[in-house]
Chains A and B, each alone.
Chain A
Amino acid sequence: MNIMNFKAFFLSSSFLKIIFTVALFALILIAGISYRHTNAVAESGKWVIRTHEVQKELEQLLSQLRDAETGQRGYIITKDSVFLEPYNKAIAEYGKSFSSVKNLVANNNQQQINLNALSKLIQLRISILDSNLSTPYQINTSVLKQRMLRGKLVMDEIRLQIKVMDDLENKYLSNRKKNLEKESYLTPIFTLLLVFFSILIFLFSFLKINNDIGLLKKTNEELKINAETMSQAEEIGDFSNWQWNLATEKYIFSDNLYRFLGCEPQSFEANLENFLSFIHPDDRHLLIEGTEKVLNEGKTSTHIFRIIRKDGEIVYTKSVSKLLTDAIGKKIVIGITTNITKDYLHSQSLSEMNKELAESNAELSSFNYVASHDLQEPLRKIQTFISRIADNDLQNMSESGREYFIKIETATNRMRQLINDLLLFSKANKAESVFEETDLNILLENAKQELAQIIDEKNAIIHEVTLPTLQVIPFQIQQIFTNLISNSLKYSKPYVKPVIDITCALIDEKAAADIKLLTNKKYYKFTFKDNGLGFEQEYAEKIFVLFKRLHDSSAYPGTGIGLSICKKIIDNHSGFINTQSTLGKGATFTFYLPA
């Protein structure tokens, strides 16, 4: 466990940070020590030079004094002024050497005291020399001899004093050397140790970094492969993924998400606003509510919404999102968005087919009801009356009357048989119709011709507009036109000239929303408005039910099938039909056909 911990620590990035901090401090230490040592060496070098300069100047001083002495001696012996030349030169220059020494020992009290003593001795020596030269002929030999002796003594003292100073300088030099040696004794070992230590650390760091880079390379390779696999998988599986970092408010969209939107990968900034702009306006709230659910309840949220691609195509997508919190509390929402258009449209067409099936089943049973009830009703009555006549009046009839009566009875029985057979047939057979590109104006014209006689009789006026050419079952659409017009004419007001207004228009999205169209198809809206009797709006739905009638059969003969047929036809065309009316104020029939 400990080894594991150490290994984990070794592999962690904080280990590298610690190593670099230690190495940095070691280097600063080395640099500091080296600087101090170099400074000390330079300082002592300076001191050595100074000592040598002091000794050199003192030597010079002594030599100048000796020159002066020699010159003076020669002059006294020869009386030749040529010997005064070195004397004069030495007298002129010794002051320079003296002030040099004075400058060099300015910081040293002991040497300054020594120098002051030397200065007095030199002054004394020079004054003796001067007095010897000023009166060389007046003084006698004994005086001269005395003076020369005194001069020699002073000169000896000068030599002694210079030696004292020289020795002192030598002593300083050796002390400093000793100090320097003592000081730099530890430095090289310490520096060496630090250098070794640093090398060790750098070696270690290098190994670690090298190791890390290797690992990084390997991880990078794997990551590349994973990313490529993911990208391929997204294309094959028609899905995409996205991330939302809550702390930084940064979004990441996968390439395929851009393709969903009909855009080049990474062609715009990944953010919520840009993404929302592609979502169908009616579906945006779904995404926003779903996101809130994820954020507030921490639940996985699934929702289906439509995307309007850049090229206007509508794509149905399913999005699943989830909130993730990592070890250091960073929150990220991740999501997968899948293109389910095919599935959606498939299920859509399936449910449409189911609807059709249910409708045709309902229709079939409605037809069964018709066959078993409405057609049989008059027939049953005929048979009932036949049975009454047969019971009571048959014997009173003539021979031929009885014969005909028997024939009627036989034919009636046959008719019942036919109806029963027809019912069986209808249960087994289902009509198939073919859709054709048809000019609806022609169909309307045909319908009007069909009804020409009654239109003429009623003096009816029909206002019409130009109709479109649509993919329809022609005879069925003509049937609608015929049924609606004849319906209006039949239920026209007595003594009022019937007027029928026919309109047709391609409806916009807003109007489509009014009739709750869920598909993105476009529709044509047709209206047939009359000025007839009308009916109460509460019957608006009932009148489309098979055999449903609002008037009794003696006043307005009819079967109650006409409008049911209209509804059936419109259903066949995936359209809608409804009606608005007020009793006594005419009726309007409206139907929608897909464009």
Chain B
Amino acid sequence: MNKDHTKILLADDDEDDRMIFTDAFKEVKINTKVDVVKDGNELMDFLKEPENDLPDVLFLDLNMPCKSGVECLAEIKSDERLKDMAIVIYSTSASEKDIEDTFVKGANVYLQKPSDFGVLKKLLSEVIIMNWQYQTSGLNRDNFLLSL
């Protein structure tokens, strides 16, 4: 995180959510560069293209057509080059099954999409200033689900 900006990548099929997400980062006072992809296939293509810089943090929606977030997660974790990337699950769902599933498959943080823009901004900045060293080495089920 010692660069001039933090590279953020969001994979979400919903246009409105992508807009809300990018708007939120514009208003957060942290130097970030946000890229977006529209579904799982596009995400994997982006990550596997060697010319693209890998993001510092990947925000991954779960329910996407053709290739779901969970499938992407599994694919990333089985790829030697990608597996150490910080992954934040970014989903409307807060079902136990989804949380358990993604935790087991190696996601670092589970962020439920809030219904308040102010709350979203706070959550996103918290994720970015998080001590990733700690978060990626000692996975902890108790603080996996991020909330205010």
Contacts and interface: CB of A to CB of B under 8 A. Distances in A.
B53 to A, nearest CB: 28
Contact of A368 (B23, B95, B114): B95
Interface in B21-58: 23
Interface in B10-27: 13-14, 16-17, 20, 23
Interface string A373-386: 11011011101110
B117 A387 contact: yes
Interface in A356-400: 365, 368-369, 372-374, 376-377, 379-381, 383-385, 387-388, 391
A381 B63 CA distance: 15
Contacts of A373: 63, 91-93, 95
A233 B139 CA distance: 66
Interface in B93-110: 93-95, 97-98
B138 interface: no
Interface stretch (A100-108, A298-306, A460-468, A549-557): A549-557
A551 B39 CA distance: 12
A574 B84 CA distance: 47
Q: Which of B91, B113, B115 has the most CB of A within 10 A?
A: B115
Contact of A379 (B20, B115, B120): B115
Contacts of A377: 14, 92, 113
B78 to A, nearest CB: 20
Contact of B63 (A374, A416, A550): A374
Contact of A384 (B13, B91, B95, B116): B116
Contacts of A380: 92, 113-115
The number of chain B residues touching the other chain, given as a range, is 20 to 34
B93 A388 contact: no
Nearest to B17: A381
Nearest to B14: A377
Contacts of B13: 552
B16 A381 contact: yes
Interface in B41-97: 63, 65-66, 91-95, 97
B65 A384 contact: no
Contact of B117 (A391, A550, A552): A391
Contacts of B91: 373
Interface residues of A, number: 23
A391 B63 contact: no
A549 B68 CA distance: 11
B65 A383 contact: no
B22 to A, nearest CB: 13
A376 B91 CA distance: 11
Nearest to B113: A380
Interface string A531-542: 000000000000
A376 B20 contact: no
B24 to A, nearest CB: 9
A369 B62 CA distance: 12
Contacts of B120: 384
A374 B93 CA distance: 8
Contact of A391 (B14, B115, B118): B118
Contacts of A551: 65
A372 B92 CA distance: 8
A384 B97 contact: no
A365 B93 CA distance: 13
A363 B138 CA distance: 35
A383 B116 contact: yes
A552 B117 CA distance: 26
A380 B91 CA distance: 11
B68 to A, nearest CB: 9
A416 to B, nearest CB: 8
Contacts of B97: 365, 369
Interface string B116-148: 111010000000000000000000000000000
A387 B93 contact: no
B116 A387 contact: yes
A77 B16 CA distance: 194
Interface in A140-159: none
Interface of B: 13-14, 16-17, 20, 23, 63, 65-66, 91-95, 97-98, 113-118, 120
Interface of A: 365, 368-369, 372-374, 376-377, 379-381, 383-385, 387-388, 391, 416, 547, 549-552
Given A380-B114, A385-B117, A387-B118, 19 more contacts: A365-B97, A368-B95, A369-B95, A369-B98, A372-B94, A374-B63, A376-B92, A377-B14, A380-B113, A381-B16, A381-B17, A383-B115, A384-B20, A384-B117, A384-B120, A385-B20, A387-B117, A388-B117, A549-B65
17 contacts: A365-B97, A369-B93, A369-B95, A369-B97, A372-B95, A373-B63, A373-B91, A373-B92, A374-B63, A380-B114, A381-B20, A383-B116, A384-B116, A387-B117, A391-B118, A416-B115, A552-B13
Q: Which 9 A-B pairs have the closest CB atoms?
A: A383-B115, A373-B93, A380-B115, A387-B117, A387-B116, A388-B117, A377-B92, A373-B92, A381-B16
